[in-house]
Amino acid sequence: KAGVTQTPRYLIKTRGQQVTLSCSPISGHRSVSWYQQTPGQGLQFLFEYFSETQRNKGNFPGRFSGRQFSNSRSEMNVSTLELGDSALYLCASSLGQGGDQPQHFGDGTRLSIL
Amino acid sequence: GQQLNQSPQSMFIQEGEDVSMNCTSSSIFNTWLWYKQDPGEGPVLLIALYKAGELTSNGRLTAQFGITRKDSFLNISASIPSDVGIYFCAGQGDKIIFGKGTRLHILP
């Protein structure tokens, strides 16, 4: 069974640009969550999507947005990139929403801002 | 907001030693999860706990869901070099909250 797939694995951008990251969940999983991971802050929750609707949102500025498609694949967009956006962006999928379904992670997209 | 306190932040141990780490919170969770992250990869789910008091093993790993539902611990017995990495706990209720991780180093 294929795991969570994130593309691209690595990305280099410059300040002011925008970026779109992609996540394909495990087959059958309908919930997709996004996290930002940095050495100092650990895993920071960005947002969760279920059935194409954003269900939960973390404390990130509006430059961070996402969406989910009918096949449960999800994209995350960051506009007007800043140096501080350099991080590993992780996607996790689970069967459903709520507290009884463990999340399974992809290997992330490492974004570097120059 | 909800927070998890994971300790220790890092550990340096000899190969073959047992390891113990834990997470505590002021909030109650329905599920406790333990993940391990290797460099350049995403976290991998090790153990999921669903009931207060539950004790679950996965090979040399054992984890317990505290009876107060506010804490959990993970033990690793007879550590080996491939156990090196960062271990994260996560408490899951309406939302999932992650600890900041325990970085495990094994001395040769």
DSSP string, A13-80: E-TT--EEEEEEPPTT--EEEEEEEETTTEEEEEEEEETTEEEEE-S--TTEEEEE-TTS-EEEEE-S
Tell whether the model's pLDDT for residue B77 goes beyond 90: yes
Distance CA B99, CA A37 (A): 12
Under a CB-based contact definition with an 8 Å cutoff, are residues A48 and A61 in contact?
Answer: no
- Closest CB from B30, B35, B99 relative to A100: B30
Q: Which residues of chain B lie closer than 8 angstroms to A104, CB-CB?
A: 45
Distances (CA, A) of B19 to B10, B61, B88: 11, 9, 14
- DSSP letter at A6? E
With cut-offs at 50, 70 and 90, classify the pLDDT of residue B32: very high
In this predicted model, what pLDDT tens digit does every residue of A19-60 receive, in sequence order?
999 999 999 999 999 999 998 778 999 999 999 999 989 999
Which residue has tokens 């306190």? Answer: B5
Report chain A's terminal Cα–Cα distance, integer Å: 37
Give the model's pLDDT for residue B41.
92
Give the model's pLDDT for residue B15.
96
- Rounded to an integer, the average pLDDT of A5-20 is 97
Which residue has tokens 């990130």? Answer: A60
Q: Which residues of chain B lie closer than 8 angstroms to A35, CB-CB?
A: 98
In this predicted model, what pLDDT tens digit does every residue of A105-114 receive, in sequence order?
999 999 999 9
Q: Rounded to a whole number, what is the distance in Å from the CA of B15 to chain A's nearest CA?
A: 26
Tell whether the model's pLDDT for residue A2 goes beyond 90: no
In this predicted model, what pLDDT tens digit does every residue of B37-56 receive, in sequence order?
998 899 999 999 999 999 99
Q: Which residues of chain A lie closer than 8 angstroms to B42, CB-CB?
A: 4, 6, 90, 92, 105-108
Tell whether the model's pLDDT for residue B1 goes beyond 80: no
Under a CB-based contact definition with an 8 Å cutoff, are residues B74 and B20 in contact?
Answer: yes
Distance CA A56, CA A103 (A): 15
Q: Of residues B91 and A1, which shows the higher confidence score?
A: B91
| Number of A–B residue contacts, CB under 8 Å | 52
**Share of residues in chain B with pLDDT > 90 (%):** 87
At A83 the three-state DSSP class reads: helix
Tell whether the model's pLDDT for residue B78 goes beyond 60: yes
Distance CA A102, CA A96 (A): 9
Residues 30-89 of B with CB under 8 A from A: 30-31, 33, 35, 40-45, 48, 50, 88
- Are the beta carbons of A105 and B44 separated by less than 8 Å? yes
With cut-offs at 50, 70 and 90, classify the pLDDT of residue B62: very high
In this predicted model, what pLDDT tens digit does every residue of A53-107 receive, in sequence order?
999 899 999 999 999 999 999 999 999 999 999 999 999 999 987 656 889 999 9
Tell whether the model's pLDDT for residue A1 goes beyond 60: no
- Rounded to an integer, the average pLDDT of B56-76 is 96
Distance CA A58, CA B86 (A): 23
